Amino acid sequence: MIIEKPKIKVENLDLYYGSFQALKKVTISIEEKKITSIIGPSGCGKSTLLRVFNRMNDLVEGIRIEGLVEIDGENIYAKDTNMVALRKKVGMVFQRPNPFPLSIYDNVIYGPRVHGERNRKKLDEIVEKSLRAVLLFDELKDKLDRSALSLSLESQQRLCISRLLAVQPDVILLDEPCSALDPMATLKIEELLQVLKNDYTILIVTHNMQQAARASDNTFYMLLGEMIEYGPTEQVFTNPKDKRTEDYITGRFG
Amino acid sequence: MINEGIRATFDQELKELSDQVMAMGITVMEMIKKSMNAFNKSDEKLAQEVIKLDDRVDKYNQDIETKCVQLLATQQPMAKDLRIIASTMRIISDIERMGDYMVDVTKFARRLMGKPKLASAGDVPKMAELVEKMLQETLDAISKKDLELITKVVEDDENVDAALRNMFDTAMLEIEKRPLSAREAIYQLFMARYLERVADHITNVCERVYYMETGELKELHV
Ligand SMILES: Nc1ncnc2c1ncn2[C@@H]1O[C@H](COP(=O)(O)OP(=O)(O)OP(=O)(O)O)[C@@H](O)[C@H]1O
Ligand SMILES: [Mg+2]
């Protein structure tokens, strides 16, 4: 698939955990302000690939990465990469909502505070804006001092997303963000993503084919660390080009 | 690992769906045959049977559609599975229309019963034979997933169109020469016209089969 101005560009990416090669010559361009879903059987390397984009894998012992990964045309694996700026630019949301055991307010301003913001009025603004973006503000505006852990799982996941938005990222990575949520909450998060994609580039890993089909613009199918197929979501789900994609999405492999 | 039979139940249901579509198509073929026999032999009883068969076609239509909706709701089909079910829903509505047209053909055959045959009377069964063959080949193509055969059937539609044009000219001449048999000539022409419509619906089915197999929606009819 040809993408005019990719937000993220990956070329010939090889990733090794020690002697095990988890990603093999992955080449993919991610479209800006679109939702890209990454699908594939367990262990195929989806989370590994996602973590490449904010260099979360760096902490893993024995890891080795070869190939090119660019965001906005900049090689994020260059020696002089500013890691703080990268993590700010590329935020991640996990399977289980993981709010800090702090108040709702303090969760949202956690990032900005770490980045040095102290102005109370500014922080208030950030909280309002970030919670509005995830459609939580009206519900929570009078309860901002309550513990984040008192929220429903769905609201916790929204809060985690707003915590990301507070540091003004460009790219949002979501690793099975709905797997702990019930179907209604799942749909609501998907709706939220549709709103967020106006401003952010979103990558979502999911095991839920219906979710990938419903919620994403482009779909990337991986198998054993390799890219098998990448294309517009409606094409991948109605007329996949590769037999292996067909077998996977129709539930005949996996 | 390929998990053989991981969707065995669903595969079985898709197979049954396809069998039902075949049975529905075969029923229309039977309607064509019976209708022409009724016409050739002026057999009122056979004509009645054709009209009865249409009820069976309608029943298939309902049953298959219900099944499709149920599979969509319960299996969340993707890719080819999805194309099979979506196409099946279109295919059965085309076959259902064929049944309706065969009822129309038969009704005109009935009106002609007991009237002297025109010189051109043999043209209608000849055309019907062509249409029946197209339908037979379409059903074969579905079960063998044979795209070449699909293309051939679509090409055959031209012959049906040409036959209709010829029959139109013949009817005009007949009417000019023997105005008293104008009624019979027009009835016959209606039969041909409806048969031609059946062939059009067969080509629609062909396009759906092509889509089912390739994922490409294409006007095969030129
Ligand atoms: N820290 C690690 N050290 C060694 N191997 C790892 C490590 N993390 C992942 N792997 C291996 O790399 C491969 C890809 O793992 P990854 O977690 O990216 O898969 P995944 O597609 O996200 O799977 P799942 O759908 O189960 O989350 C797997 O074989 C896994 O065992
Ligand atoms: Mg994972």
Percent of chain A with pLDDT over 70: 100
Q: Do A250 and B77 touch (CB under 8 A)?
A: yes
Contacts B82 to A, Cβ<8 Å: 237-238
Do B151 and B220 form a contact (C-beta atoms < 8 A)?
Answer: yes
Cα–Cα distance for residue pair B50/A139, rounded to 1 Å: 66
User: CB count, 10 Å around CB of A212?
Assistant: 26
Contacts B1 to A, Cβ<8 Å: 253
What is the model's pLDDT at position A122?
A: 95
Shortest Cα–Cα distance, B21 to chain A (Å): 22
Do A153 and A124 form a contact (C-beta atoms < 8 A)?
Answer: no
Q: Do A250 and B7 touch (CB under 8 A)?
A: yes
Contacts of the segment A74-81: beta carbons below 8 A, 24+ positions apart: A81/A55
Residue nearest to atom 17 of ligand 1 (CA): A47
What is the model's pLDDT at position A254?
A: 61
User: CB count, 10 Å around CB of A197?
Assistant: 18
Tell me the per-residue pLDDT of A45-54, one tens digit each, with 9 for 90 and over.
999 999 999 9
Tell me the per-residue pLDDT of A34-89, one tens digit each, with 9 for 90 and over.
999 999 999 999 999 999 999 999 989 999 999 999 999 999 999 999 999 999 99
Q: Do B7 and A237 touch (CB under 8 A)?
A: no
Q: Is the ipTM of this complex over 0.90?
A: no
Domain boundaries, chain A: 8-249
Residue nearest to atom 31 of ligand 1 (CA): A43
What is the model's pLDDT at position B222?
A: 65
What CA–CA distances, in Å, run from B171 to B42, B105, B167, B178? 20, 17, 6, 10
pLDDT of A253 higher than 90: no
CB contact B107 to A (< 8 Å): no
What is the model's pLDDT at position A2?
A: 85
Q: Which residue of A has its CA nearest to B216?
A: A239
What is the model's pLDDT at position A38?
A: 98
Contacts B210 to A, Cβ<8 Å: none
Do B84 and B14 form a contact (C-beta atoms < 8 A)?
Answer: yes
Of A210, A239, A252, the CB nearest to B76: A210
For domain A8-249, the CATH architecture is: 3-Layer(aba) Sandwich (3.40)
The mean of the pLDDT values for chain A is: 95
Q: Do A252 and B7 touch (CB under 8 A)?
A: yes
Domains of chain B: 2-214 (1.20.58.220)
Cα A114–Cα A117–Cα A121 angle in degrees, nearest 5:
140
Q: Do A238 and B7 touch (CB under 8 A)?
A: no
Q: Which residues line ligand 1 (CB under 6 A)?
A: A 17, 20, 22, 40, 42-48, 60
What is the model's pLDDT at position A4?
A: 85
Do B190 and B101 form a contact (C-beta atoms < 8 A)?
Answer: no
Of A209, A238, A254, the CB nearest to B83: A238
Ligand nearest to the CA of A44: 1
Cα–Cα distance for residue pair B51/B31, rounded to 1 Å: 8
Pick from A172, A190, A169: which is nearest to A181 by CA? Answer: A190
Of B3, B6, B78, the CB nearest to A237: B78
Q: How much is the CA Rg of chain B, to the nearest whole Å?
A: 20
User: CB count, 10 Å around CB of A66?
Assistant: 12
- pLDDT by residue, tens only, chain B of 222 residues: 555 677 888 999 999 999 999 999 999 999 999 999 999 999 999 999 999 999 999 999 999 999 999 999 999 999 999 999 999 999 999 999 999 999 999 999 999 998 988 989 999 999 999 999 999 999 999 999 999 999 999 999 999 999 999 999 999 999 999 999 999 999 999 999 999 999 999 999 999 999 999 999 888 876
Residue A253 alpha carbon to ligand 1 centre in Å: 19
pLDDT of A243 higher than 90: yes
Mutate to test the interface with A, among B78, B82, B217 (most CBs of A within 10 A): B78
Q: Tokens 């799982």 label which residue?
A: A153
User: CB count, 10 Å around CB of A144?
Assistant: 17
Residues 62-101 of B with CB under 8 A from A: 76-83
